[in-house]
Structure 1
Amino acid sequence: MTKKIKRAGKRNAVVLLSCMLATSGCAIDPKTGQASFKETFASEDPCSNNSRNIGLVAGTVLGAVLGHQLKNKGGALAGAGVGALVGGLVGHDMDRKKCELSKLAKKYALDMTFVEVKAGNVNPEATEAKSDTVGLSVSIRDQDSNGHFQVGSDSLSPNAQKYFTEIANEYSYPQQLARLPANASAESRQAVELLKTKRLLIIGHTDDTGNSQLNADLSERRAKALATVFKQAGVSPDNLFFQGAGETLPVADNRSSEGRAKNRRVEIVDLTDDTVFRQYLATRSARTDFYRVEVARPAQAEKSVSVVDRQDVKKDQRLLVAKKMPPKIPVAPVPQVSTSTPATQAQFDFNGKSSSEKIAALDIGPLASPSSFNILPLAQANDTPLARSCEYDKPRIANGVKSFRDSKEIATGDYMPGLYGTSWTDNVNGHLVALTRVAVLRDGGAPAGKPQLLVYKNYTPGSKARPDYSVTPEVNTYKGQKALLYRVFVGGPINCLDIVIPNSDPNASKESWLYYDSDGKPLRANFNPKKLKS
């Protein structure tokens, strides 16, 4: 019992060490004369030391655990001191940014929001945080009366050029080093030094109106233009990245004009180092509950998809290949692709039934939240219904994350087990329908490039027939707690496909559907493809 009390006393002492390391870190309540938890950790003042103080405590606890594992005398206290120092420095830099950027927001009347990036799973209902802060996301909304860019252009307005230059200065190591006063504290100097290893991701976002691909492309050009401002301010191109996310990462509900306005924004994500940056990219996930579900059956694709040749396949693939993975996604063997038959001539009878008849809802379980890194508010597992079928959904397209150094797309993570370069087939009323290059990222559950769809009319097993129809369609993926929904948008003789792949068995689909039109009538046929062996 005595040993347990001593261990508990040490743990409490370690937690309190953050205030002992820097006496200015704990605010005093003027009414009680005691340390104030709210003012120390949850102050509403953007120039408070919230992040620094939280970082001190989180770093202290983590350091104490590591020190205890060393099993050396004084190891716990030594580890606590190192952990508090590192956590405090990260928090100190974050607090400085919040304070200075808040001043700029007021100066230029900007709609700016701050969200901390958390590492690890976070339960918002828990009594204490189980996650460390590893970065800061700053979003600046594109207000109608004060737009960042010229309409439909990637050229910054004169006013935006001014305020984004000042914002960029807050992330620039040369600029911050030059601003340090001669009597700057060691903590301030060390926090500035951390800017050398920071990774900065500039993201362009849109609402969900208009063509999704055009939105992604325009938001990418704007993100790159903004990244140029940061480079000119002194941010190293090696630490600078950009992305056109288009409509895929909303922060508000697209079903309202207010929500859509909040989604039209640029975002600056500041992460502590390259390791954290890579993990963040691999595990971030969209708020799919903010996607707008169509209330009427829309066109099956935003633009018609023509038959593709091999050069188009290579050009449009845009694969997100992870580290230590082969440069190209392998393809399980299927008959050779032919491009001799125009899409307009390819007609297939899939013996379907009216798609207006009621069917059971797609059972993939609640949509899963990210597994490792979160940007709050969290994309919590939710029961928000998806579009009842792919006919009432639309492709949501994002361009990849690119390095500012060479504009090359970078790797973003590993793949889901059994879903790396796979091929799937099913025979529907005598017609072989095949999907190749099916690949899905593990944690975020996002499609890794486009698949290829092949349809063989009246297929004879074992024959060397060439496909009568071939396209590289767009794909949405929805990762549920029970299954993955792989939703394919075609817009040809097949409208779209809903493929449900259970998490428990990623080798076969179930309760999946193929949607198409015949004589102007929308029809639906069972489609339960199985994965081919490589």
Structure 2
Amino acid sequence: MRKRTVSVAVASLILFNGCAANNAFMDNAGKIGGTALGAGIGAVIGKELGGDVGMLVGAGIGAGIGYLIGNEIDTRRENLAKLAKEENVEIVSQNIVQNNNQVVAKNVKDETNKGNIIGDSFTVFSNEQQFGLNSSNLNPKAEQLFNKIASEYKNSDKKILIIGHTDDSGSSSYNQKLSEERAKNVGNIFSINGVKKSNIYYLGAGENNPIANNNTVDGANKNRRVEIVELKDESDILNYASRTSNPEFFRKIEPKIIVEKIEKPKNTKVAKVNQDEKPKKVSNDKKSLLTTNETQPLNIEQKEEIKTVSNTKDIFDFNGKKVVDNSFALKTNFGDSLQNSNFSLITKAQANNSTKVYQNCLADKPRVKADVKSLETNKVIYKTIDYKKGLNNVPFITNIENTLIAINPVAVLENSSSATNFPKASFYKDYKGEKDAKATLELTTSVNTYQGTEGLIYRVFFEEQNTQMKCMDIVFDEKNVNSSKGVLYYTKNNQILEKQFEIARIK
């Protein structure tokens, strides 16, 4: 069966900044006719972003602009450039191209085949709070801005997808819901301004597609944004919306620490250690578009050794080793994220502040994903797609120190690498091959997935709190799922331990 997917290429990237944009560029944004002129413009942008190195990269971007954009998109970019200058906002333009496999954000220096371009994307940033705190309502100035942007699409006969993005502070489900309400409100503005309601779709992506490091204030601000996508049909809309996440940019979450009750001397207070406390509020000048809880991301450094006690009996012993940090043990098996955001949607300084390190499941959390909805019906748009090879609703098993662990069923879609269901995890202590063995422990789960160049992270979180099991990282090998590896994190003797294992599906 032929599989068809899309990818995002940033062969053409324009940053329209109301404060720093070059006037000559603004005046000529709609008249780019050749590669040479495009290269010159790109150099101007690159110089603004990153000095001489940025100028060279910018020249490469500009050279692509010269032959990739058409008159319709060219005119829109010109008008939005002027609007960005007037309204003091940033609008980033990208080409959407169809490629072989996953949805990826390519480096600006990567070449793109002109014939693969199938659409256009504009992302709107702002230094101001455009929505009310924890509200989906636009303030009057922001509403005026989006009315002007929407008017640029009134003659379009293509499909328009409005995507709301947030940082990853606070509750993932809350972030998703609020971002969806905000995206829908922007979609309504497009409808009012003449875009056919049947052509408008909206998606609350929440925290799932970060383009900058959420562990910094500037990075979190960049992740709060509205994206406007134009594609030719509904199928392309669904494919684009199903992009996998880049785990590199998620906020590091420290494991919840449960401290043993200790007899303490009189008049001595023992502070309760809880890493799940909310961060401090951010001042108004740091708030931005599609902000959710408006909380300040913290660059957390673990000052204490990880120590956790289980409030259950330690009935399992996997002979694991003590966890000393939150590094991702299976990086080689994963490779690099297909959503590796090396392009300059963020400034050079922000890029240098990136974590550049993938964390294990102890430093992650379950992240809620949503589906695309039609503005006309407010119903989810579904599409039948293929499963990844070997991950089509099948059970996987591993045996660790005579304990059989079954994860069933595992189901992951091909074009999005997302899990279609959450499996059950069953643990069989002292398993001796019995066909009718009863599980010693059964746990419900939730799953995050992240696609890499070598494998897929299938991250299992155990929903029950009163258990030794904390979470599990599995990387399914892209070439052969039966060569896959994993790491189990669990508690024993008042510590968090880890144990690597090999896992395969039941044939």
Q: TM-score, normalised by structure 1?
A: 0.63
Q: How many Å apart are 1:446 and its aligned residue?
A: 3.2
2:336 to 367, 390, 394: 367
Mapped to 2, the partners of 1:490 and 1:228 lie a distance apart of 39
Secondary structure of the equivalent of 1:369? coil
Question: 1:7-66: CA deviations, max 9, x gaps?
Answer: xxxxxxxxxxxxxxxxxxxxxxxxxxxx964336764699xxxx9x979956xxxxxxxx
> Is the 8 Å Cα contact of residues 364 and 485 (structure 1) preserved in structure 2?
no
Q: Separation in 2 of the partners of 1:202 and 1:227?
A: 6
Structure with the greater relative contact order (CA < 8 A, sep ≥ 6): 1 or 2?
2
Task: Supply the distance in 1 between the matched residues of 2:402 and 2:172 (Cα, whole angstroms).
Answer: 35
SS in 2 for 1:524: strand
- Verify: 1:520 aligned to 2:494, yes or no: yes
Matching residue within 327, 341, 351 for 2:318: 351
1:96 to 43, 56, 75: 75
**What is the distance in 2 between the residues matched to 1:423 and 1:384?**
33
Q: Is the 8 A contact 1:367 1:383 kept in 2?
A: no
Aligned partners of 2:198, 2:275: CA distance in 1, in Å?
36
Cα separation, 1, equivalents of 2:471 and 2:238: 33
| Contact 1:55–1:132 under 8 Å retained in 2 | no
Matched residue type, 2:476 = I
Asked if residue 151 in structure 1 is aligned to residue 133 in structure 2, the reply is: yes
User: Relative to structure 1, is the Cα distance of residues 519 and 409 closer, same or farther in structure 2, using a 3 angstrom cutoff?
Assistant: farther
The residue that corresponds to 2:456 in the other structure is 484
Q: Deviations over 1:308-330 (max 9, x none)?
A: xxxxxxxxxxxxxxxxxxxxxxx
Distance 1:346 1:140 in 2: 52
- Two-structure CA RMSD over aligned residues (Å): 4.1
Measured at CA, do residues 127 and 347 of structure 1 come closer, stay the same or move farther in structure 2, by a change above 3 Å? closer
Does residue 139 of structure 2 align to residue 171 of structure 1? no
Paired position in structure 2 for 1:532: 506
SS at match of 1:417: strand
Q: Which amino acid aligns with 1:391?
A: L
The residue aligned with 2:226 is 266
Structure 2 Cα separation of the partners of residues 500 and 43 of structure 1: 43
Q: Deviations over 1:448-479 (max 9, x none)?
A: 34333334556672226367433132x22233
**Amino acid paired to 2:247:** T
Alignment partners' CA distance in 2, 1:530 and 1:434: 10
1:134 aligns with 2:102: no
Deviations 1:233-275 (A, max 9, x none): 2322332221111222112222321111111111111123345
- Closer/same/farther in 2, CA of residues 466 and 518 from structure 1, 3 Å limit: closer
Match for 2:367 among 396, 402, 415? 396
Q: Which of the two has greater strand per residue?
A: 2
SS for the counterpart of 1:426 is strand
**Deviation digits for residues 289-322 of structure 1, max 9, x if unmatched?**
333445x54569999xxxxxxxxxxxxxxxxxxx
Which of 32, 35, 38 is 2:36 aligned to?
38
Please give the alpha-carbon distance, in whole angstroms, between the structure 1 residues aligned to 2:328 and 2:235. Answer: 43
Q: Verify the 8 A CA contact 1:364 1:479 in the aligned structure 2.
A: no
Partner of 1:322: none
User: Cα deviation per residue 1:61-117 (whole Å; 9 max; x = unaligned)?
Assistant: xxxxxxxxxxxxxxxxxxxxxxxxxxxxx7222122212222332333323222222
Deviation, structure 1 residue 520:
2.7
- Rg larger in 1 or in 2? 1
User: What amino acid is the match of 2:459?
Assistant: R
1:444–1:384: structure 2 CA closer, same or farther, 3 Å change rule? farther
Identify which of 448, 470, 480 aligns with 1:505: 480
| Matched-pair contact (CA < 8 Å) for 1:350–1:428 | no
Pick from 433, 447, 450: which aligns with 2:422?
450
Counterpart Cα distance in 2 of 1:434 and 1:259: 39
Q: 1:423, CA displacement in angstroms?
A: 1.5
Instruction: Specify which of 253, 256, 262 is matched with residue 213 of structure 2.
Output: 253
Range that drifts further, 100-109 or 36-45 = 36-45
Name the structure with the higher helix share: 1
Q: C-alpha distance in 1, partners of 2:206/2:455?
A: 26
Letter in 1 for 2:442: Y
CA distance in 1, matches of 2:236, 2:138: 30
The more displaced of 95-104 and 124-133 is 124-133
| 1:425 counterpart residue number | 397
In structure 2, distance between residues paired with 1:107 and 1:120: 36
> Which AA in structure 1 matches 2:373?
K
State the partner residue of 2:410: 438
**Deviation at residue 215 of structure 1 after TM alignment:** 1.3
2:363 and 2:388 map into 1 onto residues whose CA distance is: 26
1:113 corresponds to: 92
Deviation, 1:357, is 6.2
Q: Aligned equivalents of 1:506 and 1:482: distance in 2?
A: 11
Counterparts in 2 of 1:410 and 1:428: CA distance versus 1, 3 Å:
same
SS at the partner of 2:389?
Answer: coil
Q: Which residue type is aligned with residue 470 of structure 2? A: N
Instruction: Tell me the residue number matched to 1:22.
Output: none
Compared with structure 1, are the counterparts of its residues 285 and 471 closer, same or farther at alpha carbon in structure 2 (3 Å cutoff)? closer
Q: Which residue of 1 aligns with 2:470?
A: 495
CA displacement at 1:151 relative to structure 2:
0.4
1:202 deviation in Å?
0.9
Quote the offset at 1:149 in angstroms.
Answer: 1.3
**Contact (CA 8 Å) 2:154, 2:194: kept in 1 or not?**
yes
Question: What amino acid does structure 2 have at the position aligned with 1:106?
Answer: K
Match of 1:410 among 382, 393, 406: 382
Cα–Cα, structure 1 residues 377 and 423, in superposed 2: closer, same or farther, change >3 Å?
farther
Q: Is the 8 A contact 2:404 2:427 kept in 1?
A: yes
| Matched residue SS, 1:440 | strand
Shift of 1:481: 3.0
Report the count of equivalent residues.
393
Which amino acid in structure 2 is aligned with residue 506 of structure 1? V
CA distance in 1, matches of 2:502, 2:439: 22
State the one-letter code of the partner of 2:444.
Answer: V
Q: What pairs with 1:193-204 in structure 2 (closer than 5 Å)?
A: 195-196=156-157, 198-204=158-164
Greater mean alpha carbon deviation, residues 406-415 or residues 484-493: 406-415
One-letter amino acid matched to 1:251: I
Q: Does 1:289 align with 2:261?
A: no
**Structure 1 unaligned blocks of 5 or more:** 1-34, 59-89, 174-194, 304-342
Query: For 2:70, what is the secondary structure of its paired residue?
Result: helix
The alpha-carbon distance between structure 1 residues 383 and 447, as it changes in their structure 2 partners (threshold 3 A), is farther
